[in-house]
Amino acid sequence: MSFKSRFRAPVSPLRRSFDQPSHRPTVAAMLRRDQPAEPVHCLRPQVVERAAVAFRAAFPGETMYAVKCNPEPAVLRALWKGGIRAFDVASMGEIRLIRTMFPQAAMHFMHPVKPRAAIRAAYQEFGIRTFALDHPDELAKIREERGGAGDLTLVVRIAVPKGGAAYDLSGKFGAAFRPAVDLLVAARAVAARVGVTFHVGSQCLDPQAYVRAIELASKVALRAGVRLDVLDVGGGFPVAYPDQVPPPVDVFGRTIGEAVARWFPDGVELHAEPGRALVAGGASVVVQVDLVRDGMLFVNDGIYGALSDAGVPAFRFPVRLMRASEAAPAPFGLFGPTCDSADRMNGPFWLPADVREGDYVEIGQLGAYGGALRTAFNGFDRARMVEVRDPPLLETPGYADAAVAA
């Protein structure tokens, strides 16, 4: 008897219909033309490109894009147009995608815990030389799988306090101070270059969270007696939501630059790995209302689709009714299409009080962790994707004026 394992079928791919960039419709024109019965992901490649240009101008180091946030090829192409040439990858799927699309791109394998086979393939087949780690056993794996070569850049992920972020990303990864010191010493002995990285948590509104983490990184290095080649300040950079207005992106860039100059006076190669900040404004999702009941709208996308952050994490996304209405705004909650009562988004989302069955509602700032987290649960696996020319529903401070090449 021989056993064969099969790969599971993925979620239905988004049905794409892209017009020529010069003919991109507005969301309103697309709805008049298509009358879609499925949720529609409305991509704004020009907004993604502009965010990449603005972030790179503000950040005093190399900007790598964290691919997990939105791996849609049209989004990746827009980032490339905006000057992004390096990518933070965390899986073989992301590595293959980036290598196929951009053969010259730099990739940094920043997942602290990797399958051995992935380390081997990344090093031997894909030429990746930068690896993150937060445990001595991972160091042993990397040493064993790299095939003996000594040209590694090893970056130790340290744990940092949550600070001002909506999401804590230190619950799973990051070495505490003393183990981080030991790991840095051990990495120094086997690597060509060493670094420290951290993640302050996603949607971090407080620039001082980066300052505190940079200070901690310098203290780890000092205690280890190791001069850092690389300091990678991770992701976490915020965007605007209806109830959150972050400081402008250049304040983050300047604050980080000053902290690096203070704590690393001998200089260090500086990296950042933004995800959300580059792509959130670059996509919205248009949903259709199936029923209105007691202040709740039953709509055709939900937490198992592109709206998981509107569920338990309770993000309040900007919304607009895609029909003229004189009615006063009223607060609504949303129910997604599945039969799970957890498929609920309390918002509140402010829409004209006369919103009714059949209406289309556009939900903005969904380019980050929206489409990337879709599932096929309960058979609601269909969605379309179009490119539109509208501005984002909300502007994040510091991004609107970035100059984009024609």
**Positions that interact with ligand PLP (CB under 6 A):** 66, 68-69, 88, 110, 199, 202, 234-237, 273-277, 368
Q: Which is nearer to ligand PLP, 274 or 336 (CB)?
A: 274
The answer to whether 251 and 207 are in contact (CB under 8 A) is yes
Alpha carbon dihedral 304, 74, 22, 390, in 10-degree steps, equals 40
> Smallest gap, in angstroms, from Cβ of residue 239 to ligand PLP?
9
> Smallest gap, in angstroms, from Cβ of residue 63 to ligand PLP?
11
> Smallest gap, in angstroms, from Cβ of residue 200 to ligand PLP?
9
Closest-CB residue for ligand PLP?
Answer: 235
Q: Which is nearer to ligand PLP, 36 or 201 (CB)?
A: 201
Indicate the pairing of strand 269-272 with strand 15-16. Answer: unpaired
DSSP string spanning 132-191? EESSHHHHHHHHHHTTT----EEEEEB----TTEEE--TTTS-B-HHHHHHHHHHHHHH-
> Smallest gap, in angstroms, from Cβ of residue 394 to ligand PLP?
17
Q: Which is nearer to ligand PLP, 132 or 289 (CB)?
A: 132
Separation between Cα atoms, residue 145 and residue 119, nearest integer Å: 6
> Smallest gap, in angstroms, from Cβ of residue 176 to ligand PLP?
18
> Smallest gap, in angstroms, from Cβ of residue 202 to ligand PLP?
3
Residue 333 parent element (H or E):
strand 329-335
Could you list the beta-strand ranges (E) of 55-145.
Answer: 62-66, 86-89, 106-109, 130-133
Q: Which is nearer to ligand PLP, 30 or 307 (CB)?
A: 307
Q: Which is nearer to ligand PLP, 246 or 275 (CB)?
A: 275
Q: Which is nearer to ligand PLP, 191 or 204 (CB)?
A: 204
Nearest to 133 by CA among 232, 29, 276: 232
